[in-house]
């Protein structure tokens, strides 16, 4: 049986729009809205939101006897204002797990309670090597050493407070997206790339006027980066959950930027062998380029649901992403492979 054809241009366009929509964990409603708006142009879908703000989509299948779910997350790494410093700059606290050096020098936006978006950049406090010499490079980056330099005339805590900035304001780092030679280079491909895979799979079915074999729920989750994204929102009758999230690329890994990967084990232990095997056989049958891998420092929303008591088979697939939780990059080949894999799964 053939799988429907995917619209690659649409996938890249949707992904670009989502990447350019700031959605740090805890402040990701814009990403949820953007995804819902795209999905609303397809028929046969029913929409709801969980109380904590995740998007749940019911996609009617040809059969209803073994309901399934797919999940991907729109929330990303980010930060929150911890303190307004006496020099008017902002000390941050991290949202999600990453190293400060991966965002040093990046542009950022501070979202105030009154709805203003203030621009700035994240710098080490001894930023100028003309002033601090070797210290600019030698000192370890920690919370106290990093600060947001606002693009505003302020040099005191009072002046910054007068701009409307408060402790607890969310901060989003610029994605710095560039699409070149088939590569997509951007922050937050984790996990917006996989949201794009799911939305593109829905479009492929819609374009081909097909329904998935089984009724399938899509959970677009909003707290994955802090560990409890998919812990709620997957209906009780669901028997199988495929978490769609990036594959970890680097030394010692089988994953790369040109393949989809199936993760058979990560920090949370093994995934469901039966469902993983089923997905591998499907990939073989449809000649989808994939790798089998183990991610050493990694957890997923599939495990979040397991830990919350979810009684389902769970597997994890996704495109290879280089330099994850850093300035990330993947290739269109990996996005196509992941979407094709979802289509094969949904058809069978």
Told to check if 257 binds Zn ion by CB under 5 A, we report: no
In the complex, least distance from residue 312 CB atom to Zn ion, rounded to whole angstroms: 19
Among residues 224, 225, 240, 328, which one is catalytic?
A: 224
SS3 letters for 68-110?
EEEEEECCECEEEEEEECCCCCEEEEEECCCCHHHCCCCEEEE
Closest CA to 337 of 197, 140, 222, 243: 197
What is the three-class DSSP state of 147? Answer: strand
Q: Please, which residue, 91 or 197, has the CB nearer to Zn ion? A: 197
How many CB atoms sit inside 10 A of residue 230's CB? 31
Stretch that binds Zn ion, among 10-18, 128-136, 137-145, 240-248 (CB under 5 A): 240-248
Assess 301 for contact with Zn ion (CB under 5 A).
no
Member of 75, 147, 169, 191 binding Zn ion (CB under 5 A): 191
Indicate if the alpha-carbon torsion angle 220, 241, 39, 45 is positive or negative: negative
Alpha-carbon separation of residue 64 from 33, 97, 272 (angstroms) = 28, 38, 22
Nearer to Zn ion, 6 or 193 (CB): 193
Active site residue 224: yes
| Least separation in angstroms between CB 248 and Zn ion | 10
Q: Smallest distance from the beta carbon of 122 to Zn ion, in angstroms?
A: 21
End-to-end CA distance of the chain: 9
Q: Which stretch binds Zn ion (CB under 5 A): 58-66, 135-143, 207-215, 238-246?
A: 238-246
Q: Can residue 190 be called a binding residue for Zn ion (CB under 5 A)?
A: yes
Secondary structure class of 282 (helix, strand, coil): helix
Query: Binder to Zn ion among 174, 245, 266, 322 (CB under 5 A)?
Result: 245
CB of 197 to Zn ion, least distance (A): 12
SS3 296: coil
Residue numbers at the binding site for Zn ion (CB under 5 A):
190-191, 245
Active-site residue list: 224
């Amino acid at each position: 049986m053939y799988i429907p054809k995917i619209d690659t241009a649409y996938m890249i366009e949707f992904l670009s729009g989502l990447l350019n929509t700031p959605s740090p964990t805890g402040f990701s409603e814009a990403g949820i809205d953007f995804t819902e708006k795209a999905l609303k142009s397809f028929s046969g879908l029913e929409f709801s939101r969980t109380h904590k703000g995740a998007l749940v989509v019911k996609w009617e299948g040809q059969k209803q006897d073994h309901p399934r779910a797919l999940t991907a997350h729109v929330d990303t790494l980010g930060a929150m204002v911890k303190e307004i410093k006496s020099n008017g700059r902002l000390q941050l606290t991290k949202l999600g797990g990453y190293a400060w050096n991966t965002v040093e020098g990046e542009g950022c936006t501070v979202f105030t309670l009154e709805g203003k978006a203030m621009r700035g950049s994240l710098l080490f406090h001894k930023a100028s090597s003309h002033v601090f010499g070797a210290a600019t490079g030698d000192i370890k980056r920690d919370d106290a050493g990093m600060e947001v330099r606002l693009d505003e005339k302020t040099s005191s805590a009072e002046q910054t407070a007068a701009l409307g900035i408060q402790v607890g304001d969310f901060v989003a780092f610029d994605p710095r997206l560039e699409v070149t030679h088939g590569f997509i280079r951007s922050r937050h491909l984790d996990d917006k790339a996989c949201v794009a895979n799911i939305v593109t799979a829905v479009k492929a079915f819609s374009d081909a006027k097909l329904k998935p074999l089984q009724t399938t729920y899509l959970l677009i989750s909003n707290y994955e980066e802090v560990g409890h994204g998919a812990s709620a929102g997957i209906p009780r009758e669901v028997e199988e959950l495929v978490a769609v999230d990036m594959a970890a690329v680097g030394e010692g890994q089988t994953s790369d930027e040109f393949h989809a990967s199936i993760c058979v084990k990560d920090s949370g232990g093994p995934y469901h062998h039966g469902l993983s095997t089923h997905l591998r056989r499907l990939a073989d049958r449809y000649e989808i380029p994939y790798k089998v891998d183990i991610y050493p420092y990694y957890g997923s929303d599939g495990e979040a649901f397991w830990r919350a008591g979810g009684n389902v088979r769970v597997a994890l697939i996704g495109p290879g992403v280089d330099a994850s939780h850093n300035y990330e990059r993947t290739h269109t080949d990996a996005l196509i492979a992941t979407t094709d894999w979802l289509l094969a799964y949904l058809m069978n």
